[in-house]
Structures are given as C-alpha cells and as structure tokens.
Chains A and B, each alone.
Chain A
Amino acid sequence: KQEVTQIPAALSVPEGENLVLNCSFTDSAIYNLQWFRQDPGKGLTSLLLIQSSQREQTSGRLNASLDKSSGRSTLYIAASQPGDSATYLCAVNSGNTPLVFGKGTRLSVIA
C-alpha cells in the first residue's frame, strides 16, 4: 500500500530565502506525482504535475523534482515571498488507484 510522507510538517523562513519541501513515497511504481498548494479555508490548487518518465517540472519560482528509484520528490521555491505562505501537499498516483496524499508542510514566510 502506497504511503506518502512530507517532512517537515511546518516550516518558517524569512522572506527572500530559497527553500526545499520534501515528499517521500514507499512504492516507486508510480504514474505521476502532483504538488498542490492550499490556503486556509480553501480548496487545493495544482502547482506542478510530474509524470513518472520526467525528472523535473518548473513553473515560475517553483521547481519540482522526482527520483522514482529513491521514492523522493522535492519542491524548490526560489526567493520566497509572504504570499507563498500556505500548506503544500504532494500526492502520488499509482495508476489504477486514487491519489495518495501526504499530510502537507505548512509554510510561513516572514516579511
């Protein structure tokens, strides 16, 4: 059974810092991996989708990498801003089963 872990559970950084959020999964036979952002009281917004054949995806200041063999993905946020404060979740799609989510990392960027 696929399990997804996100470390750390919470992170606080000063504005302007580059940071990395981690996601690990137990079964490397995945179809894709998706990173989401959730603001308080809101739904999840898709940030990046990485297919199993890809190593990374980039969108603006965000870069997500995938290492299937080691069961890891990282979300890199460059030059963090207070507006980046949110909970970030990763989810793994193993194909014929629904996505499995991590519990998220709550990020606070301090001005």
Chain B
Amino acid sequence: SQTIHQWPATLVQPVGSPLSLECTVEGTSNPNLYWYRQAAGRGLQLLFYSVGIGQISSEVPQNLSASRPQDRQFILSSKKLLLSDSGFYLCAWTGRADGELFFGEGSRLTVL
C-alpha cells in the first residue's frame, strides 16, 4: 500500500533562518506531488506542484522554493524565513487513475 511521510512534524525557527521540509511517498511511482500551506483561520493554499523529477510549478510568488530530486521525494525550502511563513505545511500526492489525493500528517512551522 502507498504511504506518505512528512518531516519534521514541528519546527520553530528564527526570522532569517533557512528552511527544509521533506516529503516522501512509498509504494507508488511517478506520483504528482503537492505542497500546501494552511495558515490559521484560512483555507488551503497550493504552493507548488510537480508532475515529475525536476518539474516544479509555482502557484504563488514568495520566498519559498520546491525541488524534486527523486521520483518520490519533494522538498520545500527557504533561504531566509519571514514571520509570514508561519503555518501548517502539508504535502500531498496523487497517482491513481481516479485522481484521489492523499495527504501527509503536516509540518507546523513557527517563525519567531
């Protein structure tokens, strides 16, 4: 069966520090991968999605970036965090013919 792993689960970082959140999917190949952010009291915001290795689409301009170095690995990064980057970050994947989307457990980032 397919599983998705996301880490770290919780992160507290000072403003201006770098960020790396990692997501891996097991049990499937060539998934579509997604990074979402959920800020307090707001809906899900799609940040990046990828349909293959090295293929990244960005939905919103910001100081975050994403990379897909391997088929089932998706990384969210920042060189310098801002206070506004605080939030709950969710990785998701879809690969089945029916298009069902599955989410990881999320990473809570607090920037101080």
Q: Which residues of A contact B (CB under 8 A)?
A: 31-32, 34, 36, 41-46, 49, 51, 89, 91, 93, 98-99, 101-104
A93, B42: Cα distance in complex, Å: 20
Query: CB of B104 within 8 A of chain A?
Result: yes
With A89-B44, A98-B34 already in contact, the answer to whether A44 and B103 are too (CB < 8 A) is yes
Q: Are B44 and A101 in contact (CB under 8 A)?
A: yes
- Report how many A-B pairs have Cβ atoms within 8 Å: 45
Say which residue of A43, A91, A93 sits within 8 Å of B90 (CB atoms).
A43
Collect the chain A residues with CB atoms within 8 Å of residue B103's CB.
36, 43-46
- By DSSP majority rule, is chain A's interface helix, strand, loop, or mixed? strand
Give residues of chain B (79-112) contacting chain A, Cβ–Cβ below 8 Å.
88, 90, 92, 98-106, 108
Collect the chain B residues with CB atoms within 8 Å of residue A51's CB.
98
Q: Which residues of B contact A (CB under 8 A)?
A: 6, 34, 42-44, 46, 49, 59, 88, 90, 92, 98-106, 108
Collect the chain B residues with CB atoms within 8 Å of residue A99's CB.
101
A34, B44: Cα distance in complex, Å: 14
Q: How far is the CB of A23 from chain B (nearest CB, A)?
A: 13
Q: Are B44 and A46 in contact (CB under 8 A)?
A: no
Collect the chain B residues with CB atoms within 8 Å of residue A104's CB.
43
Collect the chain B residues with CB atoms within 8 Å of residue A44's CB.
90, 92, 103
Q: Are A93 and B99 in contact (CB under 8 A)?
A: yes
A26, B50: Cα distance in complex, Å: 26
With A43-B90, A98-B34 already in contact, the answer to whether A32 and B102 are too (CB < 8 A) is no
With A89-B44, A102-B43, A103-B43 already in contact, the answer to whether A46 and B49 are too (CB < 8 A) is no
